[in-house]
Every structure is written in structure tokens, then in C-alpha cells.
Structure 1
Amino acid sequence: MAGNKSFFETLVMEEGGNVTFGDGSKRNVVGKGTISVPELPSLSNALFVDGLKANLISISHLSDEGYSVLFSKDYCSILKPDGQTLLKGMRSSDNCYCLEASIVSNHVSMDEQIELWHERLGHMNFRDLRTLGKFNCVRGLPKLGKKANGICGPCQQGKQTKSMHKKGKYLTTKEPLELLHMDLMGPMQTESLGGKRYIFVCVDDFSRFTWTYFLREKSETFDKFKMLCNKIKNEMNSNIKSIKRIRSDHGREFENATFETFCNGLGISHEFSAPRTPQQNGVVERKNMVLQEMARVMLLNNNVPRNLWAKAINTACYIGNRVFLRPSTRNTSYELWKGKRPNVSYFHTFGSKCYILNDRDQLGKFDAKSDEGIFIGYALNSRAYRVFNLKTLSVMESSNVVFDDTRLKSNDHEEEVIFSDVSPLEEVVVSPNVGTSNVNNDDTQPIDRVPLLDSKEPAPWVRKLHDKEDIIGEVNESVKTRRQLANLISYTCYTSQIEPKNVEEALNDEFLVLAIQEELNQFERNEVWTLVPRPKTTNVIGTKWIFRNKSDEDGNIVRNKARLVAQRVLSN
């Protein structure tokens, strides 16, 4: 029983008799509910007693939950079923055993703990996050309390919708691979760093396990589906039945002779949803929305540029397979597909700062032992993390990584505010802190290489509305709108404001490095050159990098261009 209302996760106010204390006084029971506090089992049917100044735990209640309580002269211990000590309490001067003060601090920090795991798990909603911990659906996730306000700013920006949709409560299949739902998203307005614009999404109906592949053109859909079929065949070792049915819309990437011949050869029945009726393929349509929302929130959460959407989608798919529960069950998609509970103890916040041990170079006695980087996902074929090294400007895999999941939160202001200026981007400094983290990577999705930005300080702000007599100038003249100002801020943040004279200067600016990489990607896609042995009697034409900034009609720099050209002075 407790006298503090904030200890209750759920509370029903009802009259329930009274409680008599040792001095003969009585207090009324005014409610009953569940108390959920870190380091303690969930206490159901707990009484809320009006005026009770001390919180009391029933020994018989703990015993019913499988815990043991050991008393001695000076202390008592609560033991888990495996014999490990959960909590200790000291004997007070009035002959009562009191739990240590750490329980209070844990209760105070519940909001911080659940918010950290909320970000680590791709901004999973708080209700499902508590369910994961409560029913022990994954390994490595502690039991979490209820967040006070249940509001996350980036979630509202990335997920808010006009109306709610009911969750399906029925199972249409009995085992994996009975039915695969497929769809193609795109084209995306922003091309990924690898030149991809489409996302091929495939969802197993029974387990809801999801695969994502990125495409440059719609015509690559069949090749990705064939690759997925071979992957499933090898993963299942042919001990499980093969794919029975697939379902898609009538898009030409799915409804064609190549697809039909392949499916007929494997005995796969290809079903189609009715034209302009996406509800008939609602499983994958819903999954598309979930992946986009998770990716959007993760990009917004750490101010990551939009051209990193492919990396965010991959991470969202990886997380979703391990934390989302199949409707009408208490099993994750990973457990239904793999047959074992997933481990999430090695998860970290997408886009967070990290430090990578430099075990590749020969370091001097006093050189920094680690490089600063950005966490961008999980390795494909090894137990390691994928990180973007800010020193070498490259994507690498390493298990020797220390993470900083904390970030500077911006202060919440009123709705009627706009940013008056943009804080300059700070230079990246390599930190000497090093360390290791164990990674338990069961199954990962492919991840593209991407650069990230890190904005440190919140910009100053001013009020939008002013009294008419305080306005200087003609009030009838038009002014720039908030949207125009937002575009200007976006251009300033994600473009370089200088035109370098040589490639050495360009390599010191991360935005110009991106422009160089984009030009090299175009060369590779268009097969611009063919590598041949150097002729002995012919002069070799040199190359030169040209850098230009493209501006809009107002003179604002909106894009950095880099071109690799032949030197005309040597071409004769």
C-alpha cells in the first residue's frame, strides 16, 4: 500500500474499507491499482491509502511473484528466483526495514530512462515500449515506468495524422511464407547518396518480418525479388515450406512476363489487389507508413540531412523487426521468424555521437587513440556497428565503439516564434576517449554510406507578432513568409557558402566532399571511362576539379556543384 499517488501506473479510485495502524488510528482506502517502479516487480492490486506517510510492501505479495525475502539482524534482502539480490533494505531505529534511497532516485529518473530507450528503438511509441519490458519479449531491455506526459516532439512532427486507424485483430496465415506482401515506394524527391530513389518492401504475413531493398529504377524490382527468394531459401535451409503466395498491386514492375514465368516455375501464386484499392494490400501499405514515419523522426531527432533517408529506412526496418509485436500475439516479428527472442541491449540512438578506436593506423606515442564519428547502423555480416568517421569522411565497421546517446535538447518556445538567425556549424574535434561495446547482431539490413551533421546550440528566437505602431516601414508591403525563411535556413545549413580554388580547400568542407562524391557516383553509373594500360609514347591528359555554387533568384546558395574536367592546356 502507498500514500503517494504518483507511484501508481494505473489507479482506480474506489472506496475499499480502511486500514488500522499499530497506534489504533485508521485510514481510508480510496483506490486500488498497479505500482510499477524500476528494480521492483510490478505490484498489482496495490492499495492507495489516504494520509499514509510510508509505503509498505507485502512480503506475501512478493512471494507470490516468485521472489524471496531474507531477514537478518541489520538488513533484509529481496532475492530474484535465480538467487541474485534485487534490493536491500536496512533496519531503522523504529525496528522497520526500509529500502535503500536508490529506489527513490530510480523513480525520479524513470522519464529519462524510458525516453532514452524510446530514442534507441527508433522512437517506438511508449505504450508498446512498456509492453516489451513488462512481458520480457526481448533481452537487454529493463522494465520501464510510464512517461509523465507521453509526448515526444520529433514524434509529433514525424508521425502526427488526422485520424486514428484500428489495428487488425485476426491472423490470416498459420506459418511463415504462406503469403508475402510486396510494394514499391517512390520515386523519392531526394536521391540517396548511393543514387537510389525507390524502396522495394516485402512483408511476411504471418510474422510481419520485413525486408527492404533500394533501387535506382523500377526495372530492378524483379532482380531484388529473386535475390530475396534465394536469401530466404538459404536462410531456411529448405526445411520449411517455400513461398506459397505473393500479393502486390498491378504496377508494371510486378505484373509482367518475367515475374509470371519465375513464379510459375517455383509454384508461387501471384495475387493482385484491385485497381486503386490499396486497402487490399494494407499490410505492406501500413508497413510503408511505419518505416517512413520512423525514418522521418530519426532524421529530425538529430538534425540529419534528408539525403540520408535510405540509411534511416534501413535502421527503422532493422529495429521494427525486433521490437514490434505481431497483432494478437506477444511475440516480435524476429521471434516468429527466427524462433528466438531478439536482443536489444546493444541498440543506440540513430545519429548519435560516438568514438571509434583507431586500430588501423600506426599511431605515435601521443596521438589520439580514437576518432569521432556518427552512429549510422549495424554491420551486415559481422557483430559490429557501422559508423561514419568524421576524420576520414568514410563509413566503416567496428566493434570498438563508445557511444554518447545524450544530446542537447532545444528549449520549447511558444507557437508564434521564428528563428532569427542560424548558428554557424562548429568544426569537428577528435576526442581521445576510447572504449568497447559488445554487439549481438542477429540479422541486419544493408546500409548506404552517409555523412551527418551535428547542430550544437539552439538558435536565438524572436516573437512573430508586433503592435502596428511599433512597425517601421509600410505595413501594406509584402514580406517573406515563414516558409521562405525556412527554405533559406535549410540552404544555409546544408550547403557550403564558399567556392574553393583547389581540391585541397574543398576537402576541408564536408558539403563540398559530398559534391565530389556525387560527381564520382555519376561517373560510375554512366561508365565515363575505361581503365587501360598507360601508353609509353603518348602524353596523359591531366584532370582538374571545378567548383561552383548554384544560386536561386534571390542570390541564396542552394547547391554545391563539383565537376571533374580534362585540362585543355595539356590536351594538344
Structure 2
Amino acid sequence: MSHYQSDSTQVDVLPVPEVASIKELKDHPVTNIIGNLQDGVKTRSLVDNTCLYTCIKDSGVLDDCSCSCFISQVEPKNVEMALNDNNWIEAMQKELAQFDKLKVWNLVDLPKGAYPIGTKWVFKCKKDDRGVVVRNKARLVVQGFNQQEGIDYTEVYAPVARLEAIRLFLAFASFKGFKVFQVDVKSMFLYGKVKEEVYVCQPPGFEDPLNPNMVFKLDKALYGLHQAPRAWYETLSTHLLANDFVRGKIDSTLFIKKSGGDYLLVQIYVDDIIFGSTNKGLCKDFEGVMNSKFEMSAMGELSFFLGLQVNQKEDGFFIHQSKYVKDILSRFKMADCIPYDTPIPVNHKLNSDPDGKDVDCRLYRAMIGSLMYLTASRPDIMFAVCICSRFQAKPKESHSIAVKRIVRYLKGKQRLGLWYPHGSNFDFNAYTDSDFGGCYLDRKSTTGGCQFLGNRLVSWQCKKQTTVSISTCEAEYIAAVSCCSQILWIQQQLRDYGLNFTRTPMLCR
């Protein structure tokens, strides 16, 4: 042993061995290996948790945290990321298995002169009305923007229900006092027949190794095709009409079936279907009719539809968008803002503000777009959103403050909504009003109106008039004409429900 000595300390230094010792490892005994040797090495993310999931579910302790163990919480940005996660691989395999089951396509050689359309995977974590991820959905879509009109598609129009029609449906259900149910068609576009010759590329990550240059010829529609919505509507409507349903004369997305004194109402919004009947037996018959042709996922009583949350209580329906309000507050980072009591001041005096400071127009338009959809159940912000939407071309700081005031108002009024009580009267009344030269940009007036069925608010409007009124009388007359057109539409719509309103009082202020 050698040492180094200084005036104050003494440190012992050990010599380093010239050759490092080598530890020999032997092979792990095969008898100690657990599981099948042919399965290979598996990481924890690749282990099948089906048995554990079944045990937890049967024991009755399954909660949101337990579900998150078996569902991916992250949406992959591309197919390469998805192929590294067993949960998303399983979701993609389910999508392709559905294609084979419904005989959507056939693998063929690309004809000379034809061009295939690209395909892309779209990944989405499906959430319930509480915001909890309940399912991983992988959708194979076609890049329809590469389609050529007249070659790959011709007619593409497909009817879609208006939000007023949905509210009329719920108002009528509350008046009659029956429950409304919801069903969802699995991969509904795959049922629509394609009349044109359309060729698509093989799915990314799932190419045929023996025939990598071949393409798929579509026999049925895929998501992303221009003609897919129309093909699905034709398939569904044909099936319903063949089972004694009658299509609405005004709303072609409403189907009615009468049986004696009872009737069954079905409202369609693309692949989302709501239905209700005064006779529960007809609801069971409708489920059988749909299951005879389509693969359905029964969702029970209606609770979440097109962003609308519907609470079906014993004394009525409560329609609100509290979840959507929370999403708006979170998206624009205003969850901790101080709430306001009103969405807009009485004398707002908003104008173009040419000397004001410019703001991000994309953010401003995003906020306006989000608030406009919220007006589906919030008439209290309709006027304020209408005013702020006029400045989307060149928004200024004053306009941004006005929009943020609306969001701050929502912060304190998140649970406001529409109440449709059971069994009350169903009289049709309408109200209309107008200001005079209220717009500071061009001095045009603003029309406002609302329509009630009993004490159920089913429709409302707020829009700037197209012409400049020279008197308050003219502004009120234009507002009355606009309200009258809405009355006529509602009257025609209610005739499909068996209600005939020949005289509707319209009150003009």
C-alpha cells in the first residue's frame, strides 16, 4: 500500500488491478421459462388484459381509472406511432375486419389509364359526456379531394336534419311524455353502394406483401368519398320505406310509422339516429328492423347528441351544453377567468375601430365559431355573438375584449339550458322585434325573433337585415316577414307529427 502525505492530510491510495475480472454467465434454464416459447418476448403493453378486464368488470369495481388501463389515452399523430401501440393496432384490425365482413372492396390490378385514390388512417379517442375516454377508434378514410367530378362521382347531395328539427322532436316527445332513445350504426358508410368505378390504395401499414402493387376496387362507400353520405342515405331510407315508414314531407330526415293510435318517430342525422314512440313495443320493433340489415350499437336513452346533452327526467327534458362550455373555457385558456353577469353591455357601441390594435384573426374567428355552435341551446348569447361576428375580417383589440366577455359570462352560467316540461300545453306562439339602425358599420337594423310550443322555446333568430330601413316601421315589417317565414316552416314540420296549426299569433313589439 502506498500513500501520499501533505502538510495537513494523509490519503491512502489503492492500486488499480491491471486486468478487470470477467464474470461468466450461463444460459437460463429452459425449464424456468414461464409461458409458451413460441410466443416470443412480450412487453407489458403487448400483454392481453382481456381476462383481467373481465374479472374486474364481473366483480363490479370497474371505474374510469380501470378503463384507462385497457384504452390508450393518446391519439397517435401518424400510422407509425399507432403501429407501436397494441391498442391502436387492434382498433385498425377491427376496422379492416368490418371491411371484409361487409365486402367493401376487392383486390385487383389497376386498369390502364385509371388512377388510385390515396387512403389515410384517422385516430380518435372517443369520449362520453363526462370527457372520459371510452373507446379507441381507428377510421380508414379516402382522400376524396383527389376525386374528379364526372369520373369518380356525380351527385353528392344528402339531406341533414336542422337543429330546429331536433328541438321540435324533443319538444313533441316531452309533450307526449315518451322516452327518446338513440342508436348508432357501426361503420354506416360501408353499407352504401358505389355506382362509379373507384380504386383506392392499400391501407398504410397493412399492405399485401405478395401483391404490393395491386389496388382495391370499391363496391361500397368509404369515409371521405364525396358520394358516401348520399349512398348511405339512399340505403337507409330505402330500408325504412320498405318497412312501412313514411318520409316527412318537409324534413326528409324524419320517418314516421303509424300503428293504430300509436306512432313511431325516427330522426336521422347522418349516422346518428334518435327515435321514440308512444308505444314501447314499436321501439322494440324498430330495433329489430335496423338489426336485420345493419350492425347497430344500442346506446339506450338519449343523453348526448350532436353536442347537446339531454337529461330525460320524470317531469321533462333538460337540454344544455355544459360540457361544450368547459371545452371552450379550456381551449381558449379562460378556465380561471373572472365571470361576468351579462354577455354584452346595453350600450356596447362596437364599431370597426380603425385606430385600434390588431389581434390574431385566426384566434378571433375560432372563438366566434365555437360560440356560434353554442347558440344551439343558448339563446341568451345569440345577440352578443351576432354583433361580434361582424368584425371577423379585421378584428381589433376592442372586439377581442367583447368576445372574451361572452366567454367570461359563460364561466358563471355554465349550466343554463332549455327546459321542456312533460304534458303542458302545446300552443304555437311567435315573437319578433327589431332595432333601428343598430349596426354602426352600415346603419342596418337587426332582426330578432323566437318561437314557442307552449312554454318550450324551440327556435330563435338574430340577424342583421340585408337592407337599410328608413323608418322603425320598415325595420319592424322586415323582422315580421322573417319571423313569418320561420312560422310557416314550423307549421309544415308539425304537420308530419299530426298537428295542424292554421292560425299562429305573432306578437311584434
Normalised to the residue count of structure 2, the TM-score between the two structures is 0.22
Higher helix share goes to which structure?
2
Q: Which has the higher contact order (CA 8 A, sep 6+)?
A: 2
Normalised to the residue count of structure 1, the TM-score between the two structures is 0.21
The structure number with the bigger radius of gyration is 2
